[in-house]
Every structure is written in C-alpha cells, then in structure tokens.
Chain A
Amino acid sequence: MKILVPVKRVIDYNVRPRVKADGSGVDLANVKMSMNPFDEIAVEEAIRLKEKGAAEEIIAVSIGPAKAQETLRTALAMGADRAILVQTDDQVEPLAVAKILKAIADEEAPGIVMLGKQAIDDDSNQTGQMLAALMGRPQGTFASKVEVSGDSVTVTREVDGGLETESLKLPAVVTTDLRLNEPRYASLPNIMKAKSKPLATKSPADYGVDTTPRLKVTKVSEPPVRQAGVKVANVDELVAKLKALGVA
C-alpha cells in the first residue's frame, strides 16, 4: 500500500516567537523554519512501515509557499519516495488543508494517511480528524504505537488517563504523538539523492478547493507577562512563603 504523509513548514520549535507590534500576527521574517516536529515522527513511522514491508511507497505532501519545497526535500531525504507541493501564499486553515488532502487521497488511494497530531504554530489539532471525516474513514489519533496486519491497523493512543488501543479498518488516518518514535537524521548522501526525487507542484485550484479562511484573526497579542518573582535564600524562607500562600 501507499502511505501519504502531509508535512508542514513551521517556525523552528526552539525559536521563541515574537508578536508583531501592530498585532497582526507573529513575525516570521528571517526566522528559522523547520518541519513540524510531529510530522517528522509521521515521516519516520511511514518509513519504518515501508522497511517492515507493510508499505511500498511513501508520498510526502505539503501545502504552503514555494519554500515548503525545503520541507518536502527533508522528507525525501529521510526516505519518502516522491513529493507533492500544493503551492499557495495564503494561510490555509485545517479544514481547507483536509479538503486538499482528501482530493489527493482520492487520486493516490493510500492505505494510511499519517499526519502529526498538531502543528506547533496554530496548535489546532484538527487536520487529521477532519480528513478522516471527509474521507469517511476511521481515525487513530495521538498514536504511540502503530501495527499493520492484513486489512486493519492497530493503534495505541495516548489519552488523558493512560493508553487506549483501537483497531481500525484500512484505509485509515493516523495522527502521531511524540512518543511514537525517534525520527532519523537525513544523511548527506541521502540529502543529495533527495534532490533528484520527483516533486510535483500543484495549486489548491487544481483540486477545486476554496481556501478562503473561515476564521478571521482580528488580533494577535503577547501573552500576559508574569511579574518578576523573588528568590529565597534557603528552605526555611521557602517554607515561610508556602505557608503564607496557605499551601502548607
């Protein structure tokens, strides 16, 4: 089967985002961008399934500006076979992303669509679930273990109280949690090889999807700043402070 892996280009997770002074958004000019960490885990899991013989081909797809090509090349260097860039400079919301992915899935007929559980920029945690709904397929969200057997996939999910295991009929949508795996680094030879792997460029219009945002962002502001605290010299002072708070 094929595995479709959507990846997103986001601000690098180590960068502290700065809110623009005019409140219009977060300043992304000259900021280091990388593949969304959850998507790296999705790419890694797809590659592992291919290495186990459970999948034949891995298609990475990204929706975003021309620079999202770099993100796709990273996925190709890790081990994806080919890539599709749906190029647009607009902000595309999870619902529209899910619709584009649905159209691609209709063409490619993947057995599994493997996504990250959330992107670390908008923190929405929606795209995978929305895609599964549009496809009318089951969803295995927040996966920490994925096992394909025959025409089903068993997914262990990280839920609030612990772990939960579900069996899903293939084709299915799986979203990855942090503990699913440790993504590999692309080696230099593989980075060079990735440059010659196929990368098709499309537009949202090719898939007949309207990307007009449903949510209008009216303001982006800094979170409230915490007041500077005090340092205590020793445990006795800390005990006194805790007692004053009524904790002890």
Chain B
Amino acid sequence: MKTLVYVEHDNQHLKDATLATVTAAAKLGDVDLLVAGSGCKAVADAASKIAGVGKVLLADDAAYEHQLAENVAPLVAGLMDGHDAFLSPATTTGKNIAPRVAAMLDVMQVSDIIGIEGDKTFVRPIYAGNAIATVESSDAKLVITVRGTAFDKAAAEGGSASIENVSGPGDAGLSSFVGAEVAASERPELTSAKVIVSGGRALKDAETFQQVIIPLADKLGAAVGASRAAVDAGYVPNDYQVGQTGKIVAPEVYIAVGISGAIQHLAGMKDSKTIVAINKDEDAPIFQVADIGLVADLFQAVPELTSKL
C-alpha cells in the first residue's frame, strides 16, 4: 500500500505529531510525505530526514501558507491517484482538512485511530473513550486521522528521502486568513510532554492558578494543562484544555490538581502512564483512575510538594 502522510508544521518547523503518524503509515506500507505551505523548504528538509520515508512532496505556494482546508484538500485529493491511503495527525489542522479530502474522494474517514489490526481494520475510541471500536473499511482508498499519543514517534533523523515539487489547483477563492492569536508558551508542548500538571476549578482564579500550578510545573519541567471548568472560568487560555473537546494527552505522569474527573476530562488523559490526583474530596471520580491519590487541600499540599521536590 502507498500512503501519503500530511506533515503538520508552521512553515518553519515540523511538528512532532507528524512523527507518530509516520509510524502508523509505515504499518500500512510505503510512506510519502506531503509538505504544503509557503516558504516551507526548511520543513521539507526536516521531513526528508525522518526515518522510513520514501519521498517528500513539497507544495510551496502562497495559497497553502495558512493551510486553509478549501485550498489544501483539492491538492491532497489530486495526489491520491498515486496513493492508497491518506493519513494525517488528529490535530486541529488534520481534523479540518482530512474529512474534506475524504468527501472529495467519496470515502468514509476513519477518525483518531489508536491501533491498526489489518490493511483496512482499525481501532478507535468512541463515546469519549468509554468504548473501543474495531472498524473495517470497505472503501477503495483510506482517509485516516491518527491519535499521536497512540503510536511511537518515528526517528526524526536517519532518513534521506528525495524532495519532489508538486502543485495543486492553488487558491480556491472561497476563504482567506485574517489573523491568529498564538498563546505564548516556553514550556514543553502539552501533547508531547512527559509530565503534565493540570489544574481545575478548585484553583479559584487565574492568579491562584499561576501561584499554585506554575511553580510545581516549573520544578518538574512539566507542561501545564487544565480542565474545561478552569478554562471556562478564564484561569488559562483554551488551548490548555485537556479532554474530549480539548487535547488528548498520554504523558508518563499526569498530575491532576483540584480536578474532579468528569468523563469528558478523563477522555483526554486516562491513557497517561501514571495518574496522580490531589483533591480534598475523597469521593471525587478522579481517584477511581488515579494510581497515586492524595486527599488534601491543594492550597497547602501543592506548595508543600513544590518545596519538597
């Protein structure tokens, strides 16, 4: 099977989510990569070094600068004559583009896969991760999004793929990019962090969140996450949100502070290797999934923990 993998990037850097998708694609067959963007040669160079890649297709055009689905989907659909499967990381970029590609090819997409059981058989979570479905596609071509935390990352070095320029229909003239507000963060990226410290509604306000959660995260070199309640209350920006509607994470250690453990939150973090919960309510559902629980007032326990680490 010949697969085409969508490279997630910001026109300068290749994003890690791509590497897990390459691993998934390699289980199906030969892997080609598509870098669509503007002034993104550096990304194609980085992509060509990923181990196990056949070739890198580079579509460098102003129309692809912001990876608008209306412009990128026809480019991908056009490249599918020579490929049997299109795989994309299940990031917001992938989730935006891939279904548009699938409909253009008249195939059903398989979303957010966590396992591959055969050429056309995949495993994916449904009902916020409360059930795991095995599905078999009957379509001639496959369109798949891949959950990054479910597959190992392919080695970013060691490959020497050739880079080939490709072009598509360009600007569809339907949409335009107006602007972006990128949340500044010098911490490890949430979806690839080894340790995550996450705060919930119990943190009271933005200032308290900063005072309690951030020093602990700094001490552990951890990324910072949050429950939906904490985001809705304005303690942190929405891209910190972990859960069914936010980011899906699976770090080595997930420390949930003042988070009750609603099923929508658990959907985003219950595949973490070790879950630590600090909550003053000993009946909080989070303790049913936590490997290590501490029933305590977080305003005393967390600063004490930070100082003793």
Contacts and interface: CB of A to CB of B under 8 A. Distances in A.
B181 A163 contact: yes
B79 interface: no
Interface stretch (B37-45, B155-163, B286-294): B286-294
A133 B130 contact: no
Interface in A89-136: 93-95, 98, 117-118, 120-134
Contact of B305 (A117, A239, A245): A239
A141 interface: yes
Contacts of A219: 133-134
Contacts, number: 249
Given A236-B308, A239-B305, A223 B129 contact: yes
B127 A11 contact: yes
Interface residues of B, number: 90
Contact of A139 (B69, B98, B228, B252): B69
A229 B178 contact: no
A178 B91 CA distance: 17
Band of interface residues on A? 35 or more
B135 A217 contact: yes
B181 A169 contact: no
Interface of B: 66, 68-70, 73, 91-93, 95-104, 106-112, 121, 125-139, 172-183, 191, 195, 219-220, 228, 231-232, 237-239, 244-245, 247, 252-253, 263-264, 270, 274-276, 278, 282, 287, 289-296, 301, 304-305, 308-309
19 contacts: A26-B131, A94-B99, A123-B111, A129-B95, A132-B69, A139-B175, A164-B180, A166-B178, A178-B245, A215-B110, A215-B138, A220-B134, A226-B270, A231-B292, A237-B294, A241-B292, A242-B253, A248-B219, A248-B309
Q: Which 9 A-B pairs have the closest CB atoms?
A: A129-B99, A133-B103, A130-B103, A126-B99, A214-B108, A138-B174, A165-B178, A229-B291, A138-B175
